[in-house]
Structure 1
Amino acid sequence: MGKAEALSQIKEAEAKAKKTLEEAIEKQKAIVASARREAVDKLQAAERDMRARREAVLAKERETLAAKRDELLRKGNDEAATIQEKATNRIPKAKIAIKQQLERAFDATTGTNE
């Protein structure tokens, strides 16, 4: 094997190595880019799932709070109706009591006592 042939083989081997290295670098870049895209996709999917779960939990809590609010309003309205009914029932008795007190006061002032 001559010097020229050896140099030619070395140059050929270097060219192959350079080409292989460039292909490996391109493949590595493609793999990294693909991995980044996949990571972004997974992150976005996880964020979507998290938002969906959060919205579901918030919706459930809103329903629970609305039910509690409605129950409290119902109880408050029932209590107000009961108080109103008691007050209405006591009006005639209160009128009589006030009338009697006024009559006593009038009798005491005028000196007429029955």
Structure 2
Amino acid sequence: MSFKLDHLTILSRDPKASAAFYGLLLPRLGFMQKKPHIWANEDGLHIQFGPAKDDTPGYERYGPGLNHFGFTAPSVAMVEELATVMEAAGHVARLQRFPGGTTALFLPDPDGLRVEVSWYPPGTPPVD
């Protein structure tokens, strides 16, 4: 028996900037807004948002805690289209093509937490 990931909680320094970033990104990843601070997909994964406490340290890419979270895209074209949409809205969107054919898009949120959206060629495991 395995356990299914149920939810992620993301705290941010600027809830308005975070809401704008994720409000643009999450619908394109199959999430629907359930409440002003909660989004969910059809698999039951919920992402909830809240404000970080004042005077807490910022996100550290290689520090303890969540490093990034990733989604699998159904096609390379959808990864490329998402990169275009996010860049057009003024967000950093770093597209990488790896040996073996994997295409990955890395999107830092307003606090620096990275969201990854990747397409994997058939037979390529998402995490190695």
TM class, shorter-length:
under 0.3
Give the helix-richer structure, 1 or 2: 1
Q: Which structure has the bigger radius of gyration?
A: 1
TM-score by length of 2: 0.13
TM-score by length of 1: 0.15
Structure number with higher relative contact order (C-alpha < 8 Å, ≥ 6 residues apart): 2
Give the strand-richer structure, 1 or 2: 2
